[in-house]
């Protein structure tokens, strides 16, 4: 019986340690999560998201935010299907 590949999950605090050469901090990861979806500026203009949410890397369970490490790595290296900038 084959089980589907379970995602490797990391918390916002743990994720930077998995990518030591990326220069990430927990604050930087929170900023990426905040900017992951389209949002509206105070002037009413739509600010496009960075594509992290579209990559499927963010998993929310109540207030807990987990990151799918494989999907995050694909997004970080620009190989995600979203096609947006990773900034």
Residue 39 has what pLDDT? 96
The predicted model scores a pTM of 0.81
Higher pLDDT, 62 or 2: 62
pLDDT at 82 over 60: no
* Confidence at 74, pLDDT banded by 50, 70, 90: very high
Instruction: Report the C-alpha gap between 45 and 68 in whole angstroms.
Output: 30
Beta bridge partners of 60: 65
Higher pLDDT, 80 or 58: 58
Distances 47 to 13, 35, 37, 54, 55 between C-alpha atoms, Å: 27, 9, 9, 15, 18
| Percentage of residues of the chain with pLDDT beyond 70 | 86
Question: Quick check: 6 and 20 in contact, CB under 8 A?
Answer: no
Domain boundaries, the chain: 9-76
Angle subtended at Cα 63 by Cα 58 and Cα 69, rounded to the nearest 5 degrees: 25
Longest CA span, the chain: 55
């Amino acid at each position: 019986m084959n089980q589907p590949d379970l995602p490797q999950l990391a918390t916002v605090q743990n994720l930077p340690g998995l990518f030591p050469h990326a220069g990430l901090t927990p604050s930087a990861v929170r900023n990426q999560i905040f900017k992951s979806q389209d949002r509206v500026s105070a002037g009413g203009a739509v600010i496009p998201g960075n594509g992290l949410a579209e990559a499927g890397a963010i998993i929310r369970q109540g207030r807990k935010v987990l990151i799918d490490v494989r999907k995050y790595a694909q997004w970080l290296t620009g190989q995600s299907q979203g096609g947006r900038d990773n900034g």
